[in-house]
Amino acid sequence: MESLLHFIWQNRLFYPANITTTTGTPVEIINPGRLNTNAGPDFLCAIVNINGTQWAGNVEIHVDGDDWYRHNHHKDKAYSNVILHVVQHPSKSPATDANGRQIPEIILQYPQEITSRFSSLSSSRSSIRCREIIPGLSQLDRVSWLDRLLVERMQQRTERVLSINAECNGDWEQTLFVMIARAIGEGVNGDALQDVARRSPLKIMQKMASVEQIEALLFGRAGLLDNDTDDDYVCRLQREYNLLRTRFDLPSPQTRVTLKRLRLRPRSFPTVRIAQLAAVLFASHGNLSASFGTLNIKSLHQALNVQASDYWCWHYDFSKRESHIDPKLLGSNTRNRILINGIIPWLYTRAHIAGNTREKENILKMLEFMKPEKNHLITEWTDCGIKPANEAEATALIHLSKYYCAPRRCLLCRFGQKLLSLQPTSKCTKCNDINISTPLP
């Protein structure tokens, strides 16, 4: 509930007229201040007029005024610059700071419709709790928020790329390899294939003359070549991996990578994905940045248009021969996922590090030329009335679902804010009638 009071205060949704302290002193809110996301008072740099005197300082907000003492703010010098205590229920004892100074207190008055709407949002079982207002949102509301969400998504991806780059000791080529491996593993085996790539030095694979050698290294580093077998191809991979491990003095992995097959279609088995990853490396001659350093979507798709080696035309897993030929091509949907989750974030991070704003914008525009991916999250938004026109919008909606809707961060979402934003204009002191304008359609 305190987060709702923060929202009301920050957006000035309280009644602005006839505000007084609990002792009857008139108060005018000139500037509610800036929300503090760190330790200390809730709002910083506020400006208020109390009984004709203008004060600048901080504001602390509580549902119950007595929380001031429960939270020991009266002993904390960080709260010595609080100029106003804003509460929903008044304190039994006036709030004082560490110097013994009494802090003026006001009871926050706002339309109760905001509370009922917030309760409706909080209690809704729908994955998109504000679906009722979606059809009435203006194009500007939608586009501006989705644009911001896309940037947020790329900033989040940038942090992941930088983290992986640090693990790769600043090697950007190895970082791109790890990002592609993670993306090709999709959600189920993304972490596992990322781990395989981290264990497999790209500089070694750049020296290899065949896709079989690359497969041997990748499957060996994944711990998939440890079992006895009578499969000729697997035996060749085992021999090749043992030679490579000796030649390049590779340490044995401490643990075997955990690869998942449950509920996966055979074409998405991790063995197939690793073989396809080997094909990508072989096709690029190990020089990934030369193949994937372009901003041309068509060229990137062409560079990813590969298929696993001949063995995998007849297999989904080791030693399990199929009855018919089925070449394991990288399909268009998988290529898109590699671009969206691997290559484009890598390109964006490089541009970000270089401080090249224009190139960052051009990289985001690449997503506008890609068809939107299809999944259950996109289907939910389409059912609500927002159908993404391209992958840029789809990426933004996926981020919205995962990081705002799912954790119920409605107060930080512009759609949720739109639902809650009743704009109180006045409150008649004689008849107690409320004059409210609402932006909802």
pLDDT of residue 422: 56
The DSSP 8-state label assigned to residue 373 in this structure reads: P
Indicate the angle between helix axes 172-184 and 186-199, nearest 10 degrees: 150
pLDDT of residue 226: 86
Q: 106 - beta bridge partners?
A: 21, 86
pTM exceeding 0.75: yes
Q: What are 226's two structure tokens? A: 């440890």
pLDDT digits (tens, 9 = 90+) for 155-200: 999 999 999 999 999 999 999 999 999 999 988 999 999 999 999 9
| DSSP run (H or E) holding 171 | none
Q: What span, in angstroms and rounded, lies between the C-alpha atoms of 32 and 45?
A: 8
Angle at the Cα of 134 from the Cα atoms of 128 and 135, rounded to 5 degrees: 140
Does residue 66 surpass a pLDDT of 80? yes
Does residue 397 surpass a pLDDT of 50? yes
The DSSP 8-state label assigned to residue 12 in this structure reads: T
With b meaning 16 or more CB within 10 Å and e meaning fewer, what string describes 281-313?
A: bbbbebebbebbeeeebeebbebbebebbebbe
Q: What span, in angstroms and rounded, lies between the C-alpha atoms of 422 and 439?
A: 7
Q: Identify the three-state secondary structure at position 53.
A: strand
* Mean predicted confidence (pLDDT) in 250-263: 85
What mean pLDDT is reported for the chain? 92
Q: What are phi and psi of 371, to 5 degrees?
A: -65, 145
Cα–Cα nearest to 185, from 267, 270, 256: 270
C-alpha distances in Å from residue 354, one per residue of 287, 288, 347: 21, 19, 11
C-alpha distances in Å from residue 84, one per residue of 55, 78, 104, 299: 9, 14, 5, 60
* Mean predicted confidence (pLDDT) in 272-292: 96
User: First-to-last CA distance in the chain?
Assistant: 26
Does residue 427 surpass a pLDDT of 80? no
Does residue 433 surpass a pLDDT of 60? no
| 253-257, 283-287, 435-439: the lowest-pLDDT one | 435-439
Please, is 22 exposed, middle or buried when counting C-beta atoms within 10 Å of its C-beta (0-12, 13-18, 19+)? middle
| 214-223, 299-308, 368-377, 430-439: the lowest-pLDDT one | 430-439
Q: In this prediction, what percent of the chain has a pLDDT beyond 70?
A: 95
pLDDT digits (tens, 9 = 90+) for 2-42: 999 999 999 999 999 999 999 999 999 999 999 999 999 99
